[in-house]
Structure 1
Amino acid sequence: MRQVIIKIPKGNQDKIFQAISKYEGKNTFHFSSDEKEVYFTYLPNEKVNNFLKKIDELEEPEIVLIPRGVVTLYPPASEAPHQATDVQIKSSLEIYLGGIQSVGSLFGLVAYSFVAGIIVWIGLFTTTTYLLVAAMLVAPFAGPAMNAALGTAAGKMGLLKSSLGRYGVAIGTGIIASILMSLFFPLNTLTPLMEEVSQVSKFAIFLPLVSGLAGAINICQSERDSLVSGAAVGILVAASLAPPVGLIGIGIYMGDWQVVFSSFYRIVLQLLGIHLAATLVFYFYGKVTPNGIRFINGKKRAGIITTAIVVLAIGSMMFWQFKQPPFYLKASLNTELTDELNSQLKKLDTSIAILNKSVSFTNTKYKNTPVAIFKSTVMKKDPNISDSQLKTEIINHLKENMEYEIDNLYEVYQIDVVRE
């Protein structure tokens, strides 16, 4: 329930009470003066937008909407538990206005983005994972992403453009912060965490889709209905954006364009995925539509065209991703190739015991071909065979029998043999 206060010229009392009754207002009372009347009423969330549209038909209404949940109790008393647990999503008007209110100042956006860029850089440099989480808490990427989706759902190109502009400012500021840190504390090589974060998996599209879904649902739900805090959802959105932003700055400084391009690819894919999922939630769940919100009057065509462009862009990027393995599939190919390595080593279980195994890609090429390093530590069961002979047998077996769907891959084998 939301509290709504209306101030309106005298002579509209019957119309006001009819509208309140039609839209299920409760616990209504009003005051009168010589020229104006003030009404206090409590409306279900889903009725607020249509109620205010009805009030707009009257002359010069002044309205106050309190965007906080209210527990409204009314006869019969036995229904009080049901009345208190009747939790609904926010009205489309409140969702839209709440998104606009969350924009904040440009100074705050730049400052937090700069701080997040520094924290990401330190986390990547020191290989400290919890600092990446801290950067996700600070990074102000969720707000512009959600507001851009609101603009598309409502058909308001102005909001969409301004949100994308703020998103670009936030990303650019984070990149600049990372470049400055690299200048002050020069880097000569990528740390293991940098290489790990720079790699893209074939499941990369799912994180932004889930992030956009969760972020939009959190915005649509009322505070008593939301099981997850807004800060937690903000981290989920920033999780897909903060680390690549820092990596772009590091890649530019080092001249490692493979890192720059893979990180830029992830940022664009994340934005498109978040935008698509959030737009659909706002439109179908939150009822934020071009003609569904009081005073908005958005253009439905603008929303359709923008959504179509986003879908085509996602499709094109996914096609490009799978058309050029392993460049934008390394994070998932690591696991798949490790599984294949394990299955081939098990075929030699009569002569070896597998202690560990792994496959990793490098960010450098050999003869213009991506390099994958196949590592394994094994314990030999036959003491009569030499270590070098066993290594040769294992490597030859792997070269002849390893099966995967990548043609342009240079294999490097690192087999360590230990004794009992």
Structure 2
Amino acid sequence: MRQLILKIPGGHKDEVLKTVEEFSGKNTIHFANGDQDVFYIYLPNQKVNDFLKKIDDYEEPEVNLIPRGVIALYPPASEAPDQVADVQPKSSLEIYLGGIQSVGSIFGLIGYSFVSGIIVWIGLFTNVNFLLVAAMLVAPFAGPAMNAALGTAAGKTDLLKSSLGRYGMAILVGIVASFLMTLLFPLTTLTPLMEEISQVSKFAVLLPLVSGFAGAVNICQSERDSLVSGAAVGILVAASLAPPVGLVGAGLYMMDWQVVFSSLFRILLQLLGIHLTATLVFYFYGKVNPRGVRFLKGSKMMGLVTTGLVVIGIGAMMFWQFSQPPFLRKASMNTELTEILDSELQNLSYIKVLHKGVTFTNEKFQDTPVVTFGATIMLKDTTMDQETAKKRIIEYLKKNMEYDYDNLYEVYDIKIVDR
């Protein structure tokens, strides 16, 4: 429940108390303050917005809303456990105002984005994964992304524009920080972690979709009903944003356009995916809509048009991703081709496979992406010459491996170890 302190001109006590009862208010306290009536009211979370709409009829009321959970206990005492367990989502008013409050200062946004870009770059340069997690904690990407979705759900163009502006500013500052670090400590080649992160999976769209859903649900839920902390959800939202931001800066310095374009693809895809699911959660679960929030006069058409453009944008990016193999699907193609490689190697009875793997790099040969099929094997037949066995294995793989990708230049790296 939420506590409200309401002050209105005197003479409306009975009407207010009746309205409180109508909206399931409990434990109401009233006292007169000169020519004003003051009420301490305790309402279920989702009743707050509609209650305040009704109270607007009483000559411009003054309201203090305490955005914290309150446990209201009332007779009969035997129902106290049920009263405590009745946890509802926040009201649409509190969700919207909370998003506005979370905007914060421009200085903080720029500062945290710059620090995040530096931490990401250090993690990528040193191949240290936990530094990427630290950058996700610091990166201020979740707030603008969620507020943009709030703006669409509420039909507020100003909030949408300002949130997208802040999102773009945070991304740009992170890219500049990474570029400057690469300028100070020059890189001539991508590190293994950079290579790995630069590769996009065909499932890349799923992460922003679930991130947007989780982030919006966390914002809508009452703090006593939330099973996951806001910081953890913020990491989820930033999980696929902070590393690509760092890669763009390094890629620009090295003029590695594959890295730059694949990272920008992921950054834009994150925004669109998060925006779509978060908007739907705010609209249907949080009840944030152009007419659902007190004093808010949004445009329903604006929300519909923006959501339609986001859906079209996601569809266009998916079409581009799947029409350009393997540029934007290397991460998942690695796994698919490794399974095919392993299946064919198991058909050779005279070898024992110790290790196998398929890797892509950003290099091309004759304008064709290069894929390396690697395996470390042991010969079961010790009388067989290693070079002969290696040649037979490669010939077998070239002849029998079948997959749906035509524009790949195959390289085989077969290692035979002594028993």
TM-score between the two structures when normalised by the length of structure 2: 0.99
AA in 1 matched with 2:163: S
Q: Give the aligned partner of residue 14 of structure 2.
A: 14
Tell me how far apart the structure 2 counterparts of residues 162 and 108 of structure 1 sit (CA, whole Å).
Answer: 16
Please give the secondary structure, in 2, of the residue aligned with 1:214: helix
Q: Which secondary structure does the structure 2 equivalent of 1:271 belong to?
A: helix
CA RMSD between the two structures: 0.6
Q: Secondary structure at the match of 1:122?
A: helix
SS in 1 for 2:11: coil
Task: Work out the CA distance in 1 between the residues paired with 2:168 and 2:25.
Answer: 43
Give the Cα–Cα distance (whole angstroms) in 1 for the partners of residues 41 and 261 of structure 2: 55
Instruction: Name 1:358's counterpart in structure 2.
Output: 357
- The match for 2:86 is 86
Residue 199 of structure 2 corresponds to residue 230 of structure 1: no
Instruction: Tell me, yes or no, if structure 1 residue 377 matches structure 2 residue 376.
Output: yes
Distance in 2 between the 1:212 and 1:159 partners? 18
Q: Quick one: which amino acid aligns to residue 233 of structure 1?
A: V
Is 1:207 matched with 2:192? no
The 5-angstrom pairing of residues 3-402 of structure 1 reads: 3-348=3-348, 350-402=349-401
Find the aligned partners of 2:171 and 2:29 in 1 and give their Cα distance.
Answer: 50
* Alignment deviations for residues 176-200 of structure 1 (CA, whole Å, 9 cap, x no partner): 0000000110101000100000000
Q: Secondary structure at the match of 1:137?
A: helix
CA distance in 1 between partners of 2:34 and 2:121 (Å): 65
* Letter of the structure 1 residue corresponding to residue 356 of structure 2: K
SS in 2 for 1:316: helix
User: Could you tell me how far 1:5 is from its partner in structure 2?
Assistant: 0.7
**SS of match in other structure, 2:65:** strand
Instruction: Quote the Cα distance in structure 1 between the aligned partners of 2:217 and 2:282.
Output: 8
Structure-1 residue corresponding to 2:413: 414
CA distance in 2 between counterparts of 1:11 and 1:247 reads 65
Q: Which amino acid aligns with 2:192?
A: P
Q: Once superposed, which parts of structure 1, at least 4 consecutive aligned residues long, lie more than 6 Å away? A: none
Distance 1:143 1:343 in 2: 46
Shift of 1:84: 1.1
- Cα deviation, residue 330, structure 1: 0.1
Partner Cα separation in structure 2 for residue 279 and residue 301 of structure 1: 14
Q: Which amino acid aligns with 1:206?
A: L
User: Percent same amino acid among aligned pairs?
Assistant: 69
After superposition, give the CA deviation of every residue in 1:1-23 in whole Å (9 maximum; x if it has no partner). Answer: 00011111111112211110110
Equivalent-residue separation in structure 2 for 1:236 and 1:209 (angstroms) = 11
Q: Secondary structure at the match of 2:316?
A: helix
Count of matched residue positions in the alignment of Structure 1 and Structure 2:
419
Stretches of structure 1 lacking an aligned partner (at least 5 in a row):
none
Query: For residue 45 of structure 1, what is the amino acid of its counterpart?
Result: N
SS in 2 for 1:65: strand
Q: Which amino acid aligns with 2:204?
A: A
**Counterpart code for 1:79:** E
- For residue 186 of structure 2, give the secondary structure of its aligned residue in structure 1: coil
User: Which runs of 5 or more residues in structure 2 are unaligned?
Assistant: none
SS in structure 1 of the partner of residue 5 of structure 2: strand
- Whole-Å Cα distance in 1 between the matches of residues 355 and 34 of structure 2? 86
Secondary structure of the residue that 1:378 maps to in structure 2? strand
Deviation, 1:99, is 0.7
SS at structure 1 position matched to 2:130? helix
1: CA distance between counterparts of 2:128 and 2:26? Answer: 54
Query: CA deviation digits over 1:228-264, x for unaligned, max 9?
Result: 0000000000001000000000000000000000000
With normalisation by structure 1, the TM-score equals: 0.99
Q: Aligned equivalents of 1:360 and 1:259: distance in 2? A: 16
DSSP 3-state at the match of 1:30: strand
User: What code does the residue aligned with 2:36 have?
Assistant: K
